[in-house]
Amino acid sequence: MPGQGTPVPGSGIPVPGEDIPLYVTARLRAALAAATEDQLVFDLPGIEERYATLVRELPGVAVRFAMKACPVDEVLACLVRRGSGFDAASPNEIAQALAAGAAPGDIHYGNTVKSDRNIAEAYRLGVRDFATDCVEDVWALAAHAPGARVFCRLATDGDGALWGLSHKFGCSPADALRVMETARDTGLVPSGLSVHVGSQQMSPDAWRNAVERIAGVLVALRGRDIHLDHVNLGGGLPALGCLDRHGTPLDPPLDKIFAVLRDGMRHLRELSGTPLDFRLEPGRHLVADHGAMRAHVSRLSARRAATGERQHWLYLSCGKFNGLYEMDALQYPLVFPTRGGSELVPAVVAGPTCDSDDAYSHEGGLVHVPRSAASGDPVWILSCGAYATSYTTRGFNGFSPLPVSVGGPR
Ligand SMILES: Cc1ncc(COP(=O)(O)O)c(C=O)c1O
């Protein structure tokens, strides 16, 4: 098992050639080393181990993997075998979950945004559990998914997360009461409440606050004779291996987050007059650290910037449009396996396209890269297993989507 790489001061990235971080299993490392062409590699046993740890830390919680984070058939099938259900965001995702072997009852439509046609198609596919956050959607559900179960998503502020997911989704506690009463009055089953505290959420307080918000609505609903059977604590659990946009390891307080979730579930169970189940919709946490890219160096160059300063740029064969969509908000650790011990130079890291957004943020986001890096050198881009396949363009500038290779038993 590789050990934690020593970070370059101020960059947080492992020194090229030294041990790479703990979460990068020997299997993933071997697959990256064996790859001679660019590809996105997933380590299935690594994903299974992460899943096993999650259900051990949060006993009794039903995991519904947020498919958007990694809609790769082999990954979905492997999660079904471990007992996972799915959070789907469209009829196509539902169809893919069914094809991976999930039972319709283990899939919910977790997207609050859906057209009449989307609802009818999901219902036809057998899904009976729908997220909602407004009465207009409830009316549509009553018409196109008669008798379905609905859970209402409460808004959160997204504080503490890299991507807040606030504003667009979720309603206020007062609106939630109206939504759930409307559901009951239109023949639907008001069955639960949900939150999403924001993706790559770093603060246990975010879940603490969310639980308080849920508790208030749960009690108010009881007062209206609406008794819920579940609470969905959403996604947001962090990846462990990413760096912030300045290159500092994020180091999420996972144990504290799990402790807050356990306390929160206990508290909500005590408040509920009826038995309460819990669901979680992790996406990133299960797959990010167990997917990595084998890319290559396009060119290391030096140019004088507008400030007159000489600046190095490291152009890689993959960037924002080949799956590294999140490079504006974080850095992925880079490993240069053939340049161990090389002198390092600070550089802006960028992808291969003609789009100037295809780069790590410039200010303070320089990465220490080997001065000897040459065109064609392999580069391993770590902790990019979440959202990489779904955020890949069809071939912007002619750079084709990367082939996906899945290691481990299928
Ligand atoms: C409804 C819902 N659930 C779960 C997730 C997964 O979030 P994460 O990858 O942060 O766990 C998302 C992500 O956007 C989402 O929209």
Q: Is the CB of 110 under 6 A from ligand 1?
A: yes
Q: What is the mean pLDDT of residues 46-54?
A: 97
What is the per-residue pLDDT for 7?
40
What is the per-residue pLDDT for 166?
84
What is the per-residue pLDDT for 410?
53
Domain ranges of the chain: 26-41+289-407, 44-288
Q: Which atom of ligand 1 is nearest to the CA of 110?
A: 1
Average pLDDT taken over every residue of the chain: 92
What's the CA-to-centroid distance between 399 and ligand 1, angstroms? Answer: 28
Q: Is the CB of 385 under 6 A from ligand 1?
A: no
Q: What is the mean pLDDT of residues 91-107?
A: 98
CA distance 362 to 349: 9
Q: Is the CB of 66 under 6 A from ligand 1?
A: yes
Question: Is the model's pLDDT at 85 over the cut of 90?
Answer: yes
Question: Is the model's pLDDT at 9 over the cut of 80?
Answer: no
Q: Is the CB of 112 under 6 A from ligand 1?
A: no
What's the CA-to-centroid distance between 186 and ligand 1, angstroms? Answer: 28
What's the CA-to-centroid distance between 86 and ligand 1, angstroms? Answer: 11
What tokens does 349 get?
């890291």
Cβ(202)–Cβ(284) below 8 Å? no
Nearest CA to ligand 1 atom 14: 199
What's the CA-to-centroid distance between 280 and ligand 1, angstroms? Answer: 10
CB-neighbour burial class of residue 330 (10 A; exposed 0-12, middle 13-18, buried 19+): buried
Q: What is the mean pLDDT of residues 296-307?
A: 94
What's the CA-to-centroid distance between 196 and ligand 1, angstroms? Answer: 7
CB-neighbour burial class of residue 59 (10 A; exposed 0-12, middle 13-18, buried 19+): exposed
Question: Is the model's pLDDT at 386 over the cut of 80?
Answer: yes
Architecture of domain 44-288: Alpha-Beta Barrel (3.20)
Between 65 and 10, name the one with better pLDDT.
65
User: In whole angstroms, what separates CA 250 from the centre of its chain?
Assistant: 15
Poorest-confidence range of 120-129, 195-204, 217-226, 325-334? 325-334
Q: What is the mean pLDDT of residues 381-410?
A: 91
Question: Is the model's pLDDT at 17 over the cut of 60?
Answer: no
Q: Is the CB of 21 under 6 A from ligand 1?
A: no
Residue 59, classed as helix, strand or coil, is coil
Give the H or E element holding residue 89. none
Q: What are the tens digits of pLDDT across the range 341-375?
A: 899 999 999 999 999 999 987 666 899 999 999 99
CA distance 339 to 18: 10
Q: What is the mean pLDDT of residues 121-142?
A: 98
10 Å Cβ neighbour count for 56?
9
Q: Which atom of ligand 1 is nearest to the CA of 201?
A: 10
- Same topology between domain 26-41+289-407 and domain 44-288: no
What's the CA-to-centroid distance between 240 and ligand 1, angstroms? Answer: 16
Q: What are the tens digits of pLDDT across the range 181-229?
A: 999 999 999 999 999 999 999 999 999 999 999 999 999 999 999 999 9
Poorest-confidence range of 1-5, 58-62, 294-298? 1-5
CB-hemisphere CA count at 13 Å for 306? Answer: 1
What is the per-residue pLDDT for 260?
98
Q: What are the tens digits of pLDDT across the range 232-249?
A: 999 999 999 999 988 899
What tokens does 132 get?
């909602």
Question: Is the model's pLDDT at 15 over the cut of 50?
Answer: no
Nearest CA to ligand 1 atom 7: 235
Nearest CA to ligand 1 atom 5: 235
Question: Is the model's pLDDT at 408 over the cut of 70?
Answer: no
10 Å Cβ neighbour count for 31?
20
Residue 224, classed as helix, strand or coil, is coil
Q: Is the CB of 235 under 6 A from ligand 1?
A: yes
Q: What is the mean pLDDT of residues 170-177?
A: 98
What tokens does 307 get?
């400030």
Question: Is the model's pLDDT at 275 over the cut of 70?
Answer: yes
> Cα separations (Å) of 368 from 312, 372, 382?
10, 12, 15
**Mutational pocket test of ligand 1: of 51, 87, 108, 242, the residue with most ligand atoms within 8 Å of the beta carbon:** 87
Question: Is the model's pLDDT at 10 over the cut of 70?
Answer: no
**For the packed helices 173-185 and 204-223, what is the interaxial angle rounded to 10 degrees?**
50
What's the CA-to-centroid distance between 288 and ligand 1, angstroms? Answer: 13
295: CB partners within 8 A, 6+ apart: 38, 316, 317, 318, 378, 379, 380, 381
Q: Is the CB of 236 under 6 A from ligand 1?
A: yes
Q: Which atom of ligand 1 is nearest to the CA of 165?
A: 14
What is the per-residue pLDDT for 103?
98
> Cα separations (Å) of 266 from 130, 160, 194, 260?
25, 23, 16, 10
What is the per-residue pLDDT for 409?
55
pLDDT-based confidence at 13, cuts 50/70/90?
very low
User: In whole angstroms, what separates CA 81 from the centre of its chain?
Assistant: 20
Q: Which atom of ligand 1 is nearest to the CA of 236?
A: 10
10 Å Cβ neighbour count for 121?
19
Which class is domain 26-41+289-407?
mainly beta
Q: What is the DSSP letter of 321?
A: T
